[in-house]
Amino acid sequence: MNESTKSAPSKHIAQNAELTETSTGKETRQPLRLAVLGATGSIGRQTLDLVAAHPERFELVTMSVNSRTDEALKAVSKFHPQTLAVCDEHAARGIRDIMKRDFGSTELVTGSDAMTEIATRDDVDMVVTATVGYSGLLPTVAAIKKDKDIALANKETLVVAGDLISELLKTSRTRIYPVDSEHSAIAQCLEGEERDNVHRLIITASGGPFRTLTAKELEQVTAADALRHPNWSMGAKITIDSATMMNKAFEIIEAHHLFGIAPDKINAIVHPQSIIHSMVEFKDGAIKAQLGIPDMHLPIAYALGMHHRIAGASGYLTFEQMHNLTFEQPDTERFPCLTFANTALIRKGNTACIINAANEVAVDAFLHGRIRFTDIFDVVAHTLENIDYESSPRLEDYIETNTLSRRKAEEYINKYKVIN
Ligand code: NDP
Ligand code: MG
């Protein structure tokens, strides 16, 4: 696919040069006021670690959870945010009285629009999108319309509607700071470089827990097996996506939208040690890589620091840990989900939105023991074949595609795939 005219990476990935005013005068700078969407998740909790360690730099103004209110209350009692958003109404009812009695200064907002409400507050400077799946789309769109800076963990937003987000960014002052470790690594490698000199992006993949299994063995793996990721401790959904390599397909799509690099210039390579977090190859043959221990605190800190380094964000890598760095080509026969990246970026339109919706349904079914691991690919492929293609979707079209695709995937699972 020739898309070389699109080789200039997005101006919305901020460079240090744009940010010099925030790199100086630490004494007088006001804390950056944060809205953390998905504060009880893996990324959300690590974000709160950083807030707790640097109260002079960060203030938690508002946060959201879906239903884990026990965890939410612990965070409220520690950080005293102005608002707590609980998206699940039933869960919210359960803490209404406790909130009034014990945390009267924190307002409780609830329901499906609650994330949008908190992401667009006037007193928020940066939104950390650490909610999972499609749920990140509408609050992110609303935050961009309000010119909020975004530390973007929720890659599904760019997968579902990357073209729409890019369009919105053209008329917004929002700057996007990637949290995903691969995209943070690429942003770090691109610092100080002329973007026209980029030859390709090389996204590393751990290969997940099933990297060495045969196709036959993959049919028998359970959710518990898949949740044992060798290098990273993450939420359930992304851990399954890592095992199928759908996560790497999503990251290729994410990189395309973040950096404006043509799809044929973005490659995935399996690197089981997860020490090199990704690389950029330049036209003169040089390759820059970012290395570090597998610890999300570092990319989170680099995003929240607006591409300035925060000392002590993560531990140091030893040379012993680097003595055996290996690489292999991904095997798309055993891990066919990786091929959805190409399908999505070639067909464009609502294609990736369909893939994402079907994948969310399939992953949930696998986690509940309703389908096999290897059925995840079938469910997504079947849904893709049976949902109408829309070449230039608007926001409402993405919303409709998501609803229809979920329904189709669910129907297919119920009819053909449920295991006894
Ligand atoms: P988790 O499952 O650990 O946490 C998800 C968070 O979002 C929780 O706070 C959860 O609330 C909330 N949430 C889930 N569903 C909804 C919903 N429908 N509406 C509102 N809130 C919801 O996820 P992760 O932290 O692992 O991942 C978050 C995002 O970051 C994902 O997009 C993932 O791809 C991305 N990412 C994660 C990495 C990691 O290391 N974990 C690495 C790179 C990217 P509750 O606790 O109440 O259920
Ligand atoms: Mg990643």
pLDDT in tens, 234-258: 999 999 999 999 999 999 999 999 9
Which residues approach ligand 1 with their CB closer than 6 A? 38-44, 64-68, 87, 115, 130-132, 135, 153-156, 180, 232, 234-238, 296
Nearest ligand to the CA atom of 239: 1
CA–CA distance, 266 with 202 (Å, rounded to integer)? 6
CA–CA distance, 96 with 262 (Å, rounded to integer)? 49
Q: Could you tell me how many residues make up the chain?
A: 420
pLDDT of residue 29: 73
Please state the rounded mean pLDDT for residues 33-54: 98
Ligand 1 centroid vs 182 CA: distance in angstroms? 17
Say if residues 162 and 350 touch (Cβ distance below 8 Å).
no
**Which residue among 132, 183, 227 has the greatest number of ligand 1 atoms within 8 angstroms of its CB, and so is best to mutate?**
132
Say if residues 131 and 43 touch (Cβ distance below 8 Å).
no
pLDDT in tens, 115-144: 999 999 999 999 999 999 999 999 999 999
Q: Is the predicted pLDDT of residue 419 greater than 90, yes or no?
A: no
Strands 107-110 and 83-86: parallel
pLDDT class for 232, splitting at 50, 70, 90? confident
pLDDT in tens, 156-189: 999 999 999 999 999 999 999 999 999 999 999 9
Tokens standing for residue 68: 């884990």
pLDDT of residue 327: 98
- Please state the atom number of ligand 1 nearest to the C-alpha of residue 91: 47
CA–CA distance, 45 with 38 (Å, rounded to integer)? 9
Q: What phi and psi, each to the nearest 5 degrees, are found at residue 133? A: 70, -160
Say if residues 69 and 93 touch (Cβ distance below 8 Å).
no
